Chain A
Amino acid sequence: MSINTSVNIAGVTLKNPVTVCSGTFGSGMEFVEFTDLEKLGAVTTKGVASVPWAGNPVPRIAETPSGMLNAIGLQNPGIDVFCERDIPFLKNFDTKIIVNVCGHSTEEYVDVVKRLADQPVDLLEINISCPNVKEGGIAFGQKPEAAYDITKEVKKYAKQPVIMKLSPNVTDITEMARAVEDAGADAVSLINTITGMKIDINRRTFALANKTGGLSGPAIRPVAVRMVYQVAQAVKLPIIGMGGITCAEDALEFILAGATAVAVGTANFADPFTAVRVAQGIEEYMIRQGVKDINELIGAVR
């Protein structure tokens, strides 16, 4: 049986619906010895800013039940090094490139988006939902008006389709999705991490130097599936679903809830072979279930 696993995100065709969550995969360099990048629909890079960011003090991570907290603080080399080193590296592979963009201010986001205008990348993912940087990041991701404004501004300069990455740390995620849709976003990705805290009772201090961090991993999966479902009912935009995906079965929950594509995140840390296994597992599921086209599954559960 010939099956179709390719999906379309804002006019860009991914050979299969699997990508990785920004920040869990670098720009793929550290993973090439374990992962055939060409077996992924797209590689989503770690957030890149207009200049290098040093990130937060250590400890930056802590394990929690079925998950982990992180407060890396978006350490990144800045757009210059990224364009010279990371994009040419990724161009060696037959996969799509999604560049995650971060900033402290509208100007910083726009700077990066402008720099990427003539670069051979396929999609931009605008990170307005990182809970671990003091200015910017989530400041744009918790108020519909702010999300609308940044989307509008980025869309003015973007030459690639724009995915807005949404935060779960809001009362109603559908309001946020509607706001970015109204402002012209081409897609949404969700969810970013959920703000959390862990206390080290022996040292009587916070487990993370940043005090709070973003919770990820299987612990947040049911929240993420619920939010993907809600957003799928609320907007027409394609959705990249993520949050605790460790295997094909997890990924399929997101697709059935309404995600056009899915991203593997924390599981890459636990096991660098995960993302490709998820892509293969989806194909096996389709064969087992006699599904000819992955698109039949998207949002099939209402």
Chain B
Amino acid sequence: MAKFQEMGEVISQVCLCPGIFDLTIKAPQIAAEAGCGQFVAVYSKDAAHLLPRPISLCRINRQAGTIRLVYRVAGYGTDEFSRLAAGDSVRVFGPLGTGFFLSDKKAMIIGGGIGVPPLLETAAALSRRGMRRENIQIVLGYRNECFLKDEFEQFGTVYIATEDGSTGVKGTVIDAINANRLSADVIYSCGPAPMLRALKAYSEEKGITCYVSMEQRMACGIGACLACVCNSTEKDGHSQVNNKRVCADGPVFNAKDIVI
């Protein structure tokens, strides 16, 4: 799949809640090529911060030629991006990585915290395949602020878990699955490692397919530097040492293929 470096024009940016930003960029070549679960690398304007920041694609609009990134401010790079405004330009490179492999099976889309955004395009893509709402069940776990929740509702039924119990079930996404007696044939998930670990165990117990989107510190984003590896159950294709590359072999993996 082709990858492009584009000087994207910022269409809009809003703050969804403290520390979480929603940035739409015009990047037609990337938008035309991208799929759900993939990511882009976003460059700082300050050459002293030389590595681009990997950020997942929250929405892809091919007609408008735009990509939408919802991200948390976690350091210098994302802080700089959070100050971009309409009309500014920002260099982006992508689409990168291997995204979700979609099927028409009854699905649970499960997101945790800043792992929620890439699942919005995933829910939209399942809906575009013609899947019925009742087969798109969406389980979202948050600390407290339920960003993007409303947008998920157009594609399926949304179940919420919050750490403080302020919305939905108090506890984890697994608690929300159990409390609502949900079942599915496939899971599409993204979130913190403990959540993905729990989902891997859950899916093995239930005997269902589970896709997880992983995160790791990256340098090149194209599979060359071998920084962002995760342990795999089988030998990897690159070095044959059970180390899959999150940036190229992933970020989305079948949970059975990796050790979380």
Contacts and interface: CB of A to CB of B under 8 A. Distances in A.
B242 A269 contact: no
B48 A30 contact: no
B241 A54 contact: yes
B132 interface: no
B241 A55 contact: yes
B47 A66 contact: yes
A287 interface: no
A93 interface: no
Counting chain B CB atoms within 10 Å of each CB, the highest count among A70, A267, A270 belongs to A270
Interface of B: 2-3, 5, 43, 47-52, 216-230, 238-243, 248
15 contacts: A33-B2, A52-B240, A54-B241, A54-B243, A55-B226, A55-B243, A58-B217, A60-B226, A63-B49, A65-B48, A66-B48, A75-B229, A77-B241, A269-B221, A270-B52
Interface in A20-41: 23-26, 30-31, 33-34
A146 interface: no
A62 interface: yes
Contacts of A31: 222, 224
Nearest to A244: B50
A55 B243 CA distance: 9
A73 B54 CA distance: 23
Contacts of A55: 226, 229, 239, 241, 243
Given A54-B239, A61-B217, A269-B221, 13 more contacts: A24-B220, A26-B224, A30-B222, A31-B224, A55-B229, A59-B217, A59-B227, A62-B217, A77-B239, A269-B51, A269-B225, A270-B43, A272-B220
Interface string A42-68: 000010000011110011111101111
Most buried by B among A34, A63, A78, A81: A63
A55 B226 CA distance: 9
A78 to B, nearest CB: 8
Contacts of A67: 50
A217 B217 CA distance: 17
A75 B231 CA distance: 13
A164 to B, nearest CB: 24
